[in-house]
Amino acid sequence: MAKQPSLFHQARMELEGKFAFGQSKHKAKETGDNVNWIYSHSTATNYFTVSKQFTDWCKENHGIKNLADARALAPDYLNHRISSGKAASTIARDAAALGKLFGCSKKDFGVNYPKRHREDFTRSRNANTVRAKHYNPENHKEVEAFTKATGLRRSEVATLKLKDVVFKDGKVIVNVVDNKGKGGKDRWVEALDPEAVAKICELAKDNPSGLV
């Protein structure tokens, strides 16, 4: 008898079945079919991260082994994240990922989600705003490809070191060191496009600082 895949592997296979990279999300919206698919590498990477956290929680706290059984625990998990003080934007991301995983709307979980307020958005303000205005993706194609492949922010890429990028069995795993308060925990991210990661690592080999 074949060994049952891990709970996360079941979730990963479910999400991979919804990949629609390169297809038009706009056209799908016209038919209402866009809710069933994942259109970008960065979104897929974020959803993998959420699914890993969720399945680990289900396994550790409830001994769940089948993805179908985990669906009923999604509301409890989201409420757990809310009570843990996670930001409203993080909760929104988690709910969107679990909704995609289980083929439903985040409203179907019946959770009272925290509201996102304008003052909570701090990205690209003050000095950072100046840099953002002058940042041209066309001049940084390798970095843009790297961020899409890993789901990392540009600020995270800026502090990433070559030793944190692991190539193994045809896959690329990136250790993201948390320096700025996303729960204070490092995380491992599997790159969706190993070639993009390999390219920027090759360019960074001669950097004496060890940074990517």
Which pLDDT belongs to residue 158?
78
- Does the pLDDT of residue 11 top 80, yes or no? yes
Q: Contact 97/125 with Cβ under 8 angstroms? A: no
What Cα–Cα distance (Å) separates residue 55 from each residue in 21, 50, 135, 182, 201?
Answer: 25, 9, 37, 19, 31
Which pLDDT belongs to residue 127?
43
DSSP bridge partners of 19: 38
> What would the pLDDT profile of 62-80 be if each residue is shown by its tens digit?
999 999 999 999 999 999 9
> What would the pLDDT profile of 112-155 be if each residue is shown by its tens digit?
999 876 545 444 444 444 444 555 666 567 777 888 888 887 77
> What would the pLDDT profile of 81-122 be if each residue is shown by its tens digit?
999 999 999 999 999 999 999 999 999 999 999 987 654 544
Torsion sign over Cα 147, 151, 157, 161: negative
Predicted TM-score (pTM) of this structure: 0.58
> What would the pLDDT profile of 164-202 be if each residue is shown by its tens digit?
888 887 788 888 776 554 455 677 888 888 888 888 788
